[in-house]
Structure 1
Amino acid sequence: MEHNDLARRMAALARELQESRDLQATIEHAVELADKNIVDCDGAAISLVRRGRDMDTPAATDESAAAADRLQVELGQGPCLDAIAERRLVASDDLVDDARWPAWGPRVAADTGLRSALCFRLFTQGATVGALSLYSRRVQGFGEVDREVGGVLAAHVAVAMATAQQVETLGVAVDARTVIGQAQGILMERYDIDAERAFAVLKRISTTSNVKLHEIAQRLVVERTLPKPPQPTG
């Protein structure tokens, strides 16, 4: 997949994520997008960090994916826990024979039929929030393209979750949040930046121009322009 095509595709996905109404809707939409856009994915789940290595799974595309994540908490081992604690990406081509999780892998395969996995840590500059898990019923079910697309999607999911939390904290209306997501997508395509940096640009302009964030976004969406920074006086 060419870089420009991937960038456009991910920008479109980012805008879709930003249109979700709240944090839970964002998470549910994210697993649906993962399942739909990663061809070899047979199930996806998002687990959130609660305390230390404890986590819960508020969204999954099906019960198999949800069960695979829940078993990691029950058994204290698995790729989600490792992704959250140690690495941005944890991959397994065969859960049955993976020595890293001798209890979890065979149990998951027996209970759910899942045989391979990709787990991506969900994080921003501020914190690790959880993990996005992709599962396949085939051994060696995921290739390099799946890793690339999954990694970019995971980055957008983490930022969308953080944005949802920030917007809720700021008390911005749902319609305003949709416009903010659209503005992020425009900046991402225009300057080839990710969603987190696009949101940071909007916040910085809002602060320096003393104009509300959603008004900055609305102007960008409608007029395709941003306010000029204030000129020094004196």
Structure 2
Amino acid sequence: MEQEDIYGRISEMARSAHGTVARGTSSSEQVLEEVTSAAVKHLEAVDHAGITLVRRTSSSRRPEFLESTASTGDAPHLFDSLQHEFGEGPCFEAIWTHQTVRIDDATAEDRWPRLMDAVLSRTPIRSTLSIQLYTDGQELGALNLHSEKINGFDVDTEDTAVNLATHAAIALSSARRGEQFRSALASRDRIGQAKGIIMERFDVDAIRAFDMLGALSQELNVPVSRLAAQLIDREHPDPTAPGK
């Protein structure tokens, strides 16, 4: 692959990864789907792509929950399911210990023999790149690129994929910040509506209404935003909600 072609593909994939955020359709799921689609579209060696998310609820290195998302087909999801079944594999290694783990030949790979036997018998995958995408507290993620050919990934492809993963991590971080911001705005709006209901119902001012919400929140050990949502639903129930 020519050097100019490599950088051209990186630029195009970066635009794809960041484009979802720029267009305002910036959910985390959409960003991840853009990334895996871009990998299959722009990297000739990649036949399948997906994201593995691993969560843990303790300080143990052992993952307690594995989720496969943004898969471009059945193969990445099945590959993750097999990793979860056997509790080992390149995605775990990429997430916990390395930035990138490569399987050149699944028929000769000896690091995870049980997993490889299952992969060979149940999937078309013959070589894999697993690239650490991000680490965020108790959640970690890897971008997984699969080829149906033995020795499907050369050094240039791996370099390009690592660059894509870097752009993906930046885009994903931006998307998550946007989600948090929109969530905060929605929470503020709900609290404002709940204050208005209390002010009208009990003839109190805004400060007193908020104090009442805060006191009830502490008494019931329920977040103010959730309490506000319950109050709004009680006063203005959604006619389309189940049971309404």
TM-score class normalised by the smaller sequence: 0.5 to 0.7
Query: Is the CA contact (8 Å cut-off) linking 1:115 and 1:136 kept in structure 2?
Result: yes
Query: Which residue number in structure 2 is paired with residue 30 of structure 1?
Result: 35
Change (3 A) 1:154 1:127: farther
SS in 2 for 1:139: coil
Query: Which residue number in structure 1 is paired with residue 115 of structure 2?
Result: 104
Q: Percent identity?
A: 31
Matched letter for residue 31 of structure 2: T
Alignment equivalent of 2:12, drawn from 2, 9, 12:
9
> Do structure 1's residue 142 and structure 2's residue 133 form an aligned pair?
no
> Do structure 1's residue 161 and structure 2's residue 172 form an aligned pair?
yes
Matched letter for residue 22 of structure 1: S
Q: How much has 1:127 moved relative to structure 2? A: 7.9
Query: Which residue number in structure 1 is paired with residue 55 of structure 2?
Result: 50
- Distance in 2 (CA, whole Å) between partners of 1:118 and 1:110 is 19
- Distance in 2 (CA, whole Å) between partners of 1:17 and 1:127 is 25
| Structure 2: 5+ residue stretches without partners | 57-61, 184-244
- Distance in 2 (CA, whole Å) between partners of 1:7 and 1:132 is 16
Query: Is the CA contact (8 Å cut-off) linking 1:122 and 1:128 kept in structure 2?
Result: no
Number of aligned residue pairs: 173
Root mean square deviation, CA, Å? 2.3
Change (3 A) 1:38 1:148: same
Query: Is the CA contact (8 Å cut-off) linking 2:36 and 2:72 kept in structure 1?
Result: yes
| Structure 1: 5+ residue stretches without partners | 173-234
TM-score (structure 2 length as normaliser): 0.65
**Residue deviations 1:96-143, cap 9 Å, x none?**
211111111121121012100001001268786300000011100111
Q: How much has 1:171 moved relative to structure 2? A: 1.7
Matched letter for residue 8 of structure 1: S
Query: Which residue number in structure 1 is paired with residue 97 of structure 2?
Result: 86
Change (3 A) 1:168 1:90: same
- Distance in 2 (CA, whole Å) between partners of 1:7 and 1:141 is 19
TM-score (structure 1 length as normaliser): 0.67
Q: State the structure with more CA Rg.
A: 2
Deviates more, 1:24-33 or 1:132-141: 24-33
Query: Is the CA contact (8 Å cut-off) linking 1:121 and 1:128 kept in structure 2?
Result: no
